[in-house]
Structure 1
Amino acid sequence: MTFVAEFTISSAEFSFGAVLREHPGLAIEFESVVPTHHGLMPFIFVWSDGNYDEIEPRIRSDRAVETVTEMDRFDDGRLYKVTWSDSVPGLADALLESRATLLEGIGTDEGWTFEIRFREQERIEAFQARVDEYDISLELERLRAELEVSTSTQYDLTDKQYETLITAFDAGYFENPKDATLEEIGDELGVSEAAVTGRLRRGLTSVLSRTVMRGERSGGSE
C-alpha cells in the first residue's frame, strides 16, 4: 500500500513566488521525480503565453537558484535545468530523506500545490517533521491510500493528469476541429490554461512512453 498526499503553500513562501505574483497567467511545474543526492528536482517547466524576457531573469534571480540552463522550447512553454543553492535545501531534502516521489508540483500566483507519494504512512509524518524544521508552511489538503493498480498508476499518471486527459477527451479537445479550448477545460477543472497545458503534455508523454514507445524500444514489429 502506498499513500499520496497533496500539500499546498502560498506562492510568497516558496521559490519563484515573486515572479508568479507578477505574472498571473504564469505556471511553473517541477518535473515528476524521485529526488537523489545528485540532482534535487533538477528540471522545471515554465508555462506562459510570452514575456520570457521578463520571466527568465526573475527566475535566475531567485535566492534558491544557483544556475539556470534552458533545455528546450515549446509553443507555450520552456524547459529549464536548475542547480539549487546549497544554502536553501528545504523541500527537496525532506523528499530525499523520506524517500518520497514527487508526482506533481505546480505553482501559480494563487500558490503551490505538491502531490507526493509515500510508501508508508510513517514517512509522511517524518516528511512533515522535516519540513517544519525548515520553516516551510506546507498544509496537508488531502491524503489517500492506493490499494490497487488503477488505470492512472498503470501509465504512471498523477490523478490530476488523468483527470485532465479524461476531461479534455470528453470535451472534444482532441477532435479536428477542436470542440473545446484549453481555457474552457481549465474553467471546468478550476485551473489556469497553463496548468492544463502542462498536465496534458506530461500525461501524454507518460502514456506514450509506456505504450507506443515501449514497443519501439523493444523492437516491436508491425
Structure 2
Amino acid sequence: MSVAVELAVPGDSFELGEVLTAMEGVSIEIERVVPVRERIIPYVWALGDERDVEAAFVSLPSVESVRRIAEIDQWGLYEVRWHYPINGLVASLAEADAAVVSFVSRNDEWYLDLRFPSREDVTAFYEQCQSNDIPVAISRISDSPGPTAQSNLTDKQYDALLAAYESGYFDIPRRITLTDLAEDMDISTQALSQRLRRGNKALVEESLLDRGAPPTEFGVE
C-alpha cells in the first residue's frame, strides 16, 4: 500500500519552476513518470513557442539539453536531459522514490499528485524540502489502496481505468482516444465509456468519504 500526497509549490521556489517565470503565457505539464536517480523527469509537455520553451530550459544550470520530439494538439513533448546531481525539489522526489502521477503548472504554482512507498518517505521528503527552503503546502495525505482493497470497483472497471491511465487517456492532451482504447481492449466504445464512468464514480465516492479532517503534521493549508 502506497501513500498518496497532493501538494502545491510556488514556481519561484525551485529551479524547474523558474521556467514559468521565464516563459510568460506558456503552460507546462510533466509527463507521468516514476523517478529514478539516473533519469528523473525526462519528458515535459509545453504549450508555447518551441524556441521560447527550449531557451527557457537551456537557461537552467541543471539542464544539459532539451529537444522537441513530438507534437499533439499544439502541445510539444520535450525530452530534457539533466546535469547530475540535481538539487532541490527534483532531488527530493528522487531520494524519496516518489512516483509522479501529475505535475502541473497553474498561475505561477506547481500542483503535484505523488505516491510514496510509506509515510516515513513522505516525512523525509517534507523535511528535505524544508531544509532546502522549498515551501511545500500539502493539501492531502491518504493511504492509496491496491486493487484488492478497492471493493467498490468491479474487476472490469478496475481493468478499464488502469488501461485508460496507462495508455494516456486521462493525460492532457490525451494520448489515445476512447475508440482506439476500446479497440485495444476488444470491447465496444459504449461499454468502455460506461465502465470508465461507473469506475470514476466509485473512485470519487471513495475519495470523498476518505478525506475527513486533513493531517496537520506537515503544515497542511
> When the two structures are aligned, how many residues end up with a matched partner?
175
Following TM superposition, by how much is the alpha carbon of 1:26 offset from its aligned partner in structure 2, in angstroms? 1.9
Confirm or deny: 8 A CA contact 1:24 1:109 kept in the other structure.
no
Following TM superposition, by how much is the alpha carbon of 1:66 offset from its aligned partner in structure 2, in angstroms? 1.7
Alignment of 1:31-180 (within 5 A): 31-48=31-48, 51-86=49-84, 88-147=86-145, 148-149=149-150, 151=158, 154-155=162-163, 157=165
Following TM superposition, by how much is the alpha carbon of 1:206 offset from its aligned partner in structure 2, in angstroms? 11
Other-structure match for 2:20: 20
Secondary structure of the 1:95 match is helix
Secondary structure of the 2:101 match is strand
Cα distance in 2 for partners of 1:120, 1:38 equals 22
Confirm or deny: 8 A CA contact 1:23 1:109 kept in the other structure.
no
Cα distance in 1 for partners of 2:88, 2:180 equals 33
CA shift in 2, pair 1:207/1:97, >3 Å: farther
Confirm or deny: 8 A CA contact 1:34 1:102 kept in the other structure.
yes
CA shift in 2, pair 1:98/1:55, >3 Å: closer
CA shift in 2, pair 1:108/1:132, >3 Å: same
| CA displacement, residues 93-113 of structure 1 (integer Å, 9 cap, x when unaligned) | 322222221111112333111
Alignment of 1:2-13 (within 5 A): 2-13=2-13
Secondary structure of the 2:174 match is helix
Cα distance in 1 for partners of 2:75, 2:58 equals 16
Other-structure match for 1:201: 174
TM-score w.r.t. structure 1 length?
A: 0.65
Following TM superposition, by how much is the alpha carbon of 1:89 offset from its aligned partner in structure 2, in angstroms? 2.7
Confirm or deny: 8 A CA contact 1:155 1:206 kept in the other structure.
no
Other-structure match for 1:171: none
Confirm or deny: 8 A CA contact 1:42 1:83 kept in the other structure.
yes
| CA displacement, residues 164-197 of structure 1 (integer Å, 9 cap, x when unaligned) | x6xxxxxxxxxxxxxxxxxxxxxxxxxxxxxxxx
| CA displacement, residues 125-174 of structure 1 (integer Å, 9 cap, x when unaligned) | 1111222233322221222222334558634749xx99xx6xxxxxxxxx
CA RMSD, 1 decimal:
3.2
Cα distance in 2 for partners of 1:135, 1:153 equals 38
Confirm or deny: 8 A CA contact 1:17 1:109 kept in the other structure.
no
> Does 13-22 or 148-157 show the bigger shift?
148-157
Q: In the alignment, residue 104 of structure 1 is paired with which amino acid?
A: S
Confirm or deny: 8 A CA contact 2:101 2:115 kept in the other structure.
yes
Following TM superposition, by how much is the alpha carbon of 1:86 offset from its aligned partner in structure 2, in angstroms? 2.5
Of all paired residues, the percent bearing the same amino acid is 24
- Gaps spanning 5+ residues in structure 1: where? 166-197, 216-222
Confirm or deny: 8 A CA contact 2:6 2:140 kept in the other structure.
yes
Q: In the alignment, residue 92 of structure 1 is paired with which amino acid?
A: V
Cα distance in 1 for partners of 2:16, 2:117 equals 29
User: Deviating runs (4+, > 4 A) in structure 1?
Assistant: 150-153, 204-209, 211-215
Q: In the alignment, residue 162 of structure 2 is paired with which amino acid?
A: Q
